[in-house]
């Protein structure tokens, strides 16, 4: 009976090591396919918002299209039509929609 228990002990330790390796692999895969791309997109969006300048064609998250009339800190004035300006926060400007609009022109 004792020989039987001792013979099974190393196999149990190898099973735990295999599970740890599997769990580590899953975490690594999640990092490369989910976390890293999200961080990259956040960095790109932050850079886009910081670089907004007068004359840029932008689209807000709400779908309003216009041209940047002026930038004052975290506020952007968007000209929708001659004389019609809207005041929005920089964070309300969508990088994805602005890129799509720029690529269609």
CB 54 within 8 A of CB 70: yes
Q: Exposed, middle or buried: residue 69 (CB in 10 Å: 0-12, 13-18, 19+)? A: middle
Give tens-digit pLDDT for 55-102. Answer: 999 999 999 999 999 999 999 999 999 889 999 999 999 988 787 777
- Domain match, 33 and 60 both: no
Joined together, the tokens standing for residue 59 give 């689209």
Residue range(s) defining the domain that contains residue 63: 53-105
Give tens-digit pLDDT for 1-45. Answer: 544 554 454 545 568 888 999 999 999 999 999 999 999 999 999
- Domain match, 87 and 41 both: no
Q: What is the CATH number of the domain that holds 85?
A: 2.30.30.30
Counting the structural domains of the chain, the total is: 2
């Amino acid at each position: 009976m004792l020989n039987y228990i001792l013979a099974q002990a190393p196999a149990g330790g190898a099973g735990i090591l295999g599970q740890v390796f599997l769990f580590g692999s899953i975490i690594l895969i999640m990092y490369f396919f989910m976390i890293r791309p999200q961080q990259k997109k956040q960095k790109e969006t932050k850079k886009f918002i910081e670089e907004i300048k007068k004359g840029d064609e932008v689209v807000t998250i709400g779908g309003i299209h216009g041209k940047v009339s002026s930038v004052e800190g975290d506020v952007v004035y968007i000209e929708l039509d001659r004389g019609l300006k809207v005041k929005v926060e920089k964070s309300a400007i969508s990088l994805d929609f602005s890129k799509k609009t720029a690529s269609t022109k």
